[in-house]
Amino acid sequence: MAGVRISVSLPQMKIEEQETALKELEASLQRSAMELDRRLTTQQQEYEKKVQVLMRQLAEADAKTPATGPSGDAAASDKDIKLDFIWLLLGWRLC
């Protein structure tokens, strides 16, 4: 009779161990999902800040009337700001 109890208990113990392991894996997966969501939110916030900086730079560049000499330095600076903005937008969409 004791042999029957032991053989019934072993499968039950294995089931309980597997259930415990499954619960631990589910909890780990939930923590990972929350961490991923937090990191994504942080990246989105950083991206929005960069866009706002570039938009402000574009607005300031458009508000100024660049006095360009033969070298065209002011125009090149304005062009660089616009290109930075375009690359930022493209870079975000490609990621």
- The tens place of each residue's pLDDT in the chain, 95 residues long, gives 555 566 668 888 899 999 999 999 999 999 999 999 999 999 999 988 988 888 888 778 777 755 554 455 555 666 677 777 777 776 655 44
Which are the contacts of 80, defined by CB distance < 8 A and separation ≥ 6?
none
Domain that holds residue 76: 2-94
Whole-prediction pTM: 0.55
Number of domains in the chain: 1
DSSP 30-77: HHHHHHHHHHHHHHHHHHHHHHHHHHHHHHHHHHS-----TT-HHHHH
Q: How far apart are CA 68 and CA 4, in angstroms?
A: 96
